[in-house]
Structure 1
Amino acid sequence: MTLAEGERHGSMSLATSTQPRTVALPVEFFAGLRQSALAAHGGATVLPVDAIRDAGYAAGTALYGHFATWLSEQGESHPDKLSDERFPWLLEAFFHGIGWGRVELHALSDAVMALDVSEWGEASDNAGGCLVSTGLFAGFFGRLASAPISVLEVDTGTAGPGRSRFLLGSVDVMGYVWEAMERGIPYDRAAASA
């Protein structure tokens, strides 16, 4: 399980540009990032998790701007003005179109959303979870909500190759879910009672 809290990143500044820029990286980037991070820490067996998630967070906040530009190019409304019916479909089309994979957003309760990913590059080698993606979603959805969002990765490695599930909610709600899970309560029950 990995947890990213949007609150940690409140002091990060975002570079603004009128023209969003992106680069394409092969999915092997994620394995290379893990190996390089371990080597940089003297061959330690524990990754510098916060640093990797922080990089994902910065990418996620910027990616939100790319999503807004993409929506405009599609003739759609700004992300914060999209209808609840169209948002999940457009979110999936955007992430799939830029090569990250497929995403499906589901409500687990009034306070917790589940984000299921498949064909997900970082999830193809689930050793240690999807650290970049956890930060990426915290940044992306935090900007969408205009509030800190915590992201908790669950079902790491059990959902199958290229698949994973993330839970999204406020910092307090996800803290409650995390604590309940540590006591052995399944995440879906914890989310339903949050």
Structure 2
Amino acid sequence: MSPAQPFLPARTLTVPVEFFDQLRRAVLEGSSDASPLTVDAIRDAGYAAGQALFDPFATWLAEEGEAAPTELADTRFPWLLQAFFHATGWGRVELRDLSEAVVALDASDWGEPVGASGGCLVSTGLFAGFFGRLADAPMAVLEVEAPDRSRGSCRFLLGSVDVMGYVWERMARGIPYTQAAATA
């Protein structure tokens, strides 16, 4: 545990960002038998990490003199979320409402390298686990095109499982995600 980050649990590990790129390559490019099951296993690992990251977030909020995660004011939450992810080394996150039911999460200077095939598999699971725990309900996360890949950024859509299923179905029919999210 680092003195600069007292809110992290004692069993937190620091890994270089290259770990994520190598993991993705091992699964997607390393063999011809990369299956959806293997990709799902990486997302599942991210999900478990996101669930576990919720407690350090709650501890960090308390140390900052803020309310518990479920009691934060809507106006403070995005700023505090951004500060937490930055302090833990993940990068910058920004939330943007696309509709009443869908939120876009833009990640930049992100810890999991973006731009390679396969996308941010760990981060997709991480956000589903983290926000699902925050909402105390299952959340679905879709990775969509990044607003600016040159800056190491990625965009995710967050919503309930049913809503994101609707968005996914519309996207599969060729409807841009912004339109699909706006009608959700």
Hey, what does 2:22 align to over in structure 1?
32
Hey, what does 1:74 align to over in structure 2?
64
**Matched residue count:** 175
Structure having greater relative contact order (Cα 8 Å, sep ≥ 6): 1
Shift of the 24–98 alpha-carbon distance from structure 1 to 2, 3 Å rule, reads same
In the TM superposition, what are the counterparts of 1:1-194 in structure 2 within 5 Å? 20-21=9-10, 22-37=12-27, 43-44=31-32, 46=34, 48-156=38-146, 159-194=149-184
Shift of the 157–105 alpha-carbon distance from structure 1 to 2, 3 Å rule, reads closer
- TM-score scaled by length of structure 2: 0.88
Determine if contact 2:97/2:104 at 8 Å carries over to the other structure. Answer: yes
Segments of structure 2 that go 5 or more residues without pairing to the other structure are: 1-7
Percent identity between the two aligned chains: 66
Coordinate RMSD, CA, aligned:
2.0
Determine if contact 1:112/1:167 at 8 Å carries over to the other structure. Answer: yes
Measured after TM superposition, the shift of residue 23 of structure 1 is 1.6
Determine if contact 1:154/1:167 at 8 Å carries over to the other structure. Answer: yes
Hey, what does 1:10 align to over in structure 2?
none
Q: Residues 127-158 of structure 1: CA distance to partner in whole angstroms, max 9, x if unpaired?
A: 21000000000000000000000000000596
Q: Residues 12-44 of structure 1: CA distance to partner in whole angstroms, max 9, x if unpaired?
A: xxxxxxx823221110010221234358xx722
Q: Counterpart of 2:178 in 1: which secondary structure?
A: helix
- TM-score scaled by length of structure 1: 0.84
